[in-house]
Amino acid sequence: MDACIEASISHRIGEMPDFRVYGRSERRSRDFSVLVLLDVSQSTADRIHGKDDTVLDLERFSTALLAKTISAAGDPFAIAAFCSDTREDVRYFRIKDFDETYNTFARSRLAGIRSCLSTRSGAAIRRAGADLAKRQSHRRLLLVVTDGEPSDVDVDDNRYLVEDARAAVHSLNRKGIDTFCVALDSDGRSCADRIFGRGEPQQLRVSDNCQFSCRLSFIV
């Protein structure tokens, strides 16, 4: 502030002010939008080792908890789910849109999702990114929750779908959309690192006597 005042005085009296004056703008308020994208392919019907709960049950529970927290904070968020049956039939289910409140109807839609079909992640990521691109928020976040590598019945080499998903993530990153992944990976063979970038393995505790491996990956 003192440097700014001295520069203003020099300018007013006709002297050359010191150019070593810098300004910085800071955002003091929260301004971000979040879209949670859930993988509901058939593999999410698998049961967690030693528990009666399925992977999809874990996805629903964690999403409900996150949605309640974000809703209480007043931040805009959306929830969607996806599965696929070849490239011609990629299904994208809107559970909650940004302009909707997290009410009984949204909670019922979240509770009603079922496991089915395959996992064509790249197409779903692009669709979710298109929804986020319409938001005018300073920070836009896509959170993908999945249980394994992309796959579909019309693809023999799943590496194609991995690279397609990776390309989709990088495309969103260039548009200023941050993409994170929570990979619920019970057998350690997740392709999340390749698609989203390398993250540190975390342990997600389901209950006092059950743990489920969870890897958080992100694009840098």
Least confident of 12-16, 94-98, 170-174: 12-16
Q: pLDDT category, 195, cuts 50, 70, 90? A: confident
| In-domain check, residue 56 | yes
- Predicted confidence (pLDDT) at residue 217 exceeds the cutoff of 50: no
**How confident is the model at residue 185, as a pLDDT?**
60
pLDDT tens figures, 137-151: 989 999 999 887 888
| In-domain check, residue 21 | no
| In-domain check, residue 87 | yes
| In-domain check, residue 90 | yes
- Predicted confidence (pLDDT) at residue 204 exceeds the cutoff of 80: no
**How confident is the model at residue 130, as a pLDDT?**
95
pLDDT tens figures, 95-127: 999 999 999 999 999 999 999 999 999 999 999
| In-domain check, residue 206 | yes
If one counts the domains in the chain, the total is: 1
3-state secondary structure string, the chain?
CHHHHHHHHHHHCCCCCCCCCCCCCCCCCCCEEEEEEEECCHHHHCECCCCCCEHHHHHHHHHHHHHHHHHHHCCCEEEEEEEECCCCCEEEEEEECCCCCCCHHHHHHHHHCCCCCEECHHHHHHHHHHHHHCCCCCEEEEEEEECCCCECCCCCCHHHHHHHHHHHHHHHHHCCEEEEEEEECCCCCCCHHHHHCCCCEEEEEEECCEEEEEEEEECC
| In-domain check, residue 60 | yes
| CATH number assigned to the domain comprising residue 64 | 3.40.50.410
Please tell me which residue, 189 or 51, carries the higher pLDDT value. 51
Q: pLDDT category, 48, cuts 50, 70, 90? A: confident
**How confident is the model at residue 177, as a pLDDT?**
94
pLDDT tens figures, 68-96: 999 988 899 999 999 999 999 999 999 99
| In-domain check, residue 19 | no
| In-domain check, residue 64 | yes
Domain range for residue 81? 28-218
**How confident is the model at residue 25, as a pLDDT?**
66
Stated pTM of the model: 0.77
